[in-house]
Chain A
């Protein structure tokens, strides 16, 4: 008997009597004999909790996590502080063992959480509406591109070279299979080059995709890009770091049409790359073109405020192949964690985190470039990440840092051809002492 399966063989025998069969095999009589597996699956026998724990701890022992490494690595996944309440509240099993809120009368917890999440994402980005979340920042960006193509009835997407390379790879794939052209806009001095962008725009351009702070950590001024995009009746899609929005100009202030990004930084652990959470916010005008679940406020028959999944006419279970997307889930548990994080940090806390990231990253940049062996790759304003060029390739630098229990930066040579270029990330978790140590070690390495 397995601990997760309550019915005993005695129960089974009685149940088979009710059904009117004599053996378990009879219940599988519709499976042709030549398809029935002749032997057991080649898997190890089931083990106890204690053995599982031992095995998993042993496996975990072959990892070195950011619990014992000092992390200066970002590049799309961020080591921010997560308040204790996030874990405790997200682990309420009424939340995590529920399915999609198809029965709203007994799902008001989930539905209200999403409604509040949508409100906070809308407020952070300054946009009219947000959906209930998508798989991750990269797929959210691809969905935004498809949305723009459907809305403008044009077939080309321009994406800046400064957008996260991982996102561009995903975008490339989604666009290829949908027969949408994808063209890269080169960068100049670490930011999207407006001249090159202008030259690439034409009547087929559905949207321009930019990122700010961009992959290189640089804050891009979207003023001119917005004029170029909208002057051509193309949409402007911007990918953002949600934490940066506590201090930086909001996408809405630039006139962005669709805002996307990854909200892992908001209360979600690094988890070796997933599950993360993609967010999307847009204008009222584009609301009905938005993919994914959306929660709306309504009233019940007694006139009480209540929440439901809404605008479902966009979705696959109604529209089937005409749906705006095939997505039928959201990263609900991750959205819950992001919500609890935003609520806990609140207006003051999120700003404080953003300020500390900025201050510490700038302190680190000053410290590293101060001695002369490293220089900033670009002379541009940045938020929590910055690129430096040293005298040794990034992999060698990182290797030596690792020997000192420091997780170094992202190697910029492969994607950007910046030889000896390294992208460092400094969150609010890093101390002055850790930054000083990093600078001292890097100084010796080169």
Chain B
């Protein structure tokens, strides 16, 4: 296939067009007669001039330089790159959903509101929460919303000195960043040698200044925090609330629920657990669920039902308010809703079980060749710490880059921060044993290559559209747009 290396601006040619508009049914009036000249720009807007075929070829050829779940195995830890069912896309594209204006009268959007109300109920049931707001745009946005709710709760109780949030050192980087956005200070607690929250350091961190604890369970090492009940009791006794980072929900659907563990607030990632596509980095959707005592603080509007009529409820005096325009990523919600309809209770549980099975299988086969810092059953993902037998100066990055030559997307690397040379592998339930075996074989082969021919890894990748890129150059002399 042809190698393509053009920017759209480089194929632009004066006079070419790709657009079509109907013949104007109004007489053209000089613009200056409608808008005063001093408000108009003297400059022409700089956009490319190309034909429709140019547009189609350009983006098609660019897509060929991308790797998605549809291309192959994508074991990116913490990101749950499961298969994105096609029917989800069809349902989201239905004109009766996708062509609704957000300010249409409620009578004309009863189907949309019913879907949202229903999804709220499903997500509440899966997490063991009382209600769910669908408004947050992404996981990090859900964290921010959840923390605002925690802050509002303490403010309402006149407990204004609770200005600190406890975050384990294994947490996602967004946790402390979200807490800072909401104006909290962060206390980091250490993990034990077994990778779990250290109860003693948690105890010493707790005080009447602590607003809450943020936790992922299973945590970022893929381990279940067995002491979660005790942790919850400790935080609650100290007057704090518990926040559940839902990034790892794919491990526990239908098996156990954050609500039952003692969490007060949770965010979901619909783009992880509920199969909505990641879109190359977004849009996601990060619904926030809360227990009964926090429902009053959820963002406005909530979708409520009166008789058989659905409506948007803005009359919530204690609500934190709005955290984004309108009602959330509606298009993403439809996809998640479609997925839950397809799976049902049994399917969701099967998904979590098979996700955990796949991860444990890979871990068992790989631990002979790669360091496994904590050898216990894992949940939906596990973390390796580089090659078992060190080979020259080969590091995790080189292994990841060599995987590209074998046609795989590498695992998450160098996270969690508490594991040296970390490789975080999350296979998901939508991969077959054969796929897992092929990938494992590639990793084993790479471990051998590291010993025999480390240069092969140091210089990898060899057969990708471009090879290793100079990131320092990009940051030192930023070129952020094309210039003639």
Contact = CB atoms under 8 A, between A and B. Distances in A.
A314 to B, nearest CB: 10
Interface string A315-331: 01111111101111111
B157 interface: no
B84 A274 contact: no
28 contacts: A5-B347, A7-B429, A15-B361, A24-B353, A27-B357, A34-B229, A47-B344, A60-B111, A63-B108, A64-B108, A76-B325, A77-B326, A94-B70, A106-B464, A139-B325, A270-B101, A271-B330, A273-B102, A274-B326, A275-B330, A298-B470, A305-B5, A325-B181, A332-B283, A333-B282, A340-B59, A358-B34, A402-B105
A262 interface: yes
B15 to A, nearest CB: 9
A256 interface: no
B98 A270 contact: yes
Interface residues of B, number: 194
A100 interface: yes
B46 A109 contact: no
Interface string A324-357: 0111111111101000101111111111110110
Nearest to A319: B177
A219 B38 CA distance: 11
Contacts of A360: 26
A123 B226 contact: no
A334 B470 CA distance: 28
B137 interface: yes
Interface stretch (A166-174, A200-208, A224-232, A437-445): A166-174
Nearest to A312: B475
The residue in B48, B64, B182, B349 that gathers the most chain A C-beta atoms within 10 A of its C-beta is B48
Contacts of A347: 44-49
A241 interface: no
Interface string B426-442: 00011111000000000
A248 interface: yes
Nearest to A311: B475
Interface string B412-425: 10010000000000
Contact of B66 (A19, A106, A138): A106
A199 interface: no
A428 B429 contact: no
Interface residues of A, number: 205
B193 interface: no
A21 B24 CA distance: 72
A328 B49 CA distance: 33
Contact of B324 (A59, A113, A135, A334): A135
A129 interface: yes
Interface string B303-339: 0000000000000000011111111111110100010
Contacts of B478: 129, 287, 294, 296, 310-311
Contacts of A133: 282
Contact of A273 (B59, B85, B328, B429): B328
A46 B346 contact: yes
Nearest to B185: A321
A275 B327 CA distance: 10
A188 interface: no
The residue in B41, B59, B143, B345 that gathers the most chain A C-beta atoms within 10 A of its C-beta is B59
A26 B282 contact: no
Contacts of A234: none
Given A119-B481, A120-B47, A272-B112, A247 B101 contact: no
Contact of A349 (B19, B90, B260): B19
A370 interface: no
Interface in B240-256: 252-256
Interface string A121-150: 011101001101101111100000010000
Nearest to B29: A359
Interface string A287-317: 1000001111111111011111011110011
A32 interface: yes
A132 B281 contact: yes
Contact of A343 (B18, B180, B349, B473): B18
B256 A35 contact: yes
Given A119-B9, A310-B474, 4 more contacts: A34-B229, A46-B343, A99-B280, A136-B324
B40 interface: yes
B321 A169 contact: yes
Interface stretch (B71-79, B287-295, B449-457): B71-79
The residue in A29, A123, A246 that gathers the most chain B C-beta atoms within 10 A of its C-beta is A123
A417 interface: no
A90 B459 CA distance: 33
Given A15-B357, A30-B226, A105-B461, A330 B91 contact: no
A170 B334 CA distance: 24
A5 B228 contact: no
B7 interface: yes
Interface stretch (A79-87, A155-163, A371-379): A79-87
A81 B361 CA distance: 50
Interface in A358-392: 358-360, 362-363, 381, 383
A83 B31 CA distance: 25
A328 B478 CA distance: 20
Contacts of A34: 229
Given A12-B354, A28-B356, A329-B138, A62 B361 contact: no
The residue in A43, A295, A360 that gathers the most chain B C-beta atoms within 10 A of its C-beta is A43
Interface in B382-433: 400-401, 404, 409-410, 412, 415, 429-433
A69 to B, nearest CB: 7
Contact of B466 (A64, A105, A334): A105
A189 interface: no
Nearest to A50: B87
B151 interface: yes
A317 B173 contact: yes
Interface string B258-270: 0011000000000
The residue in A138, A172, A327 that gathers the most chain B C-beta atoms within 10 A of its C-beta is A327
B425 to A, nearest CB: 14
Contacts of B256: 31, 35-37
A301 B174 CA distance: 32
Contacts of B466: 104-105, 108, 300, 302, 304, 306
B325 A166 contact: yes
B1 interface: no
A343 B50 contact: yes
B19 A123 contact: no
Contacts of B65: 106-109, 112
B200 interface: no
Given A41-B345, A219-B39, A274-B328, A302 B467 contact: yes
B115 A96 contact: no
A407 B109 CA distance: 12
A320 B71 contact: no
A195 interface: no
Given A129-B481, A166-B326, A40 B345 contact: yes
Contact of A56 (B67, B338, B377, B410): B338
Nearest to A60: B96
Contact of B341 (A55, A124, A248, A356): A55
Contacts of A40: 254, 345-346, 349
A104 B347 CA distance: 35
B224 interface: yes
A7 B232 CA distance: 36
B347 A46 contact: yes
B324 A274 contact: yes
Interface pairs A-B: 9 shortest CB-CB:
A273-B326, A60-B96, A46-B344, A273-B102, A97-B68, A109-B66, A349-B19, A333-B279, A62-B111
Interface in A4-24: 4-7, 11-12, 14-16, 18-21, 24
A41 B126 contact: yes
Contacts of A135: 137-138, 141, 283, 324
B70 A43 contact: no
B126 to A, nearest CB: 6
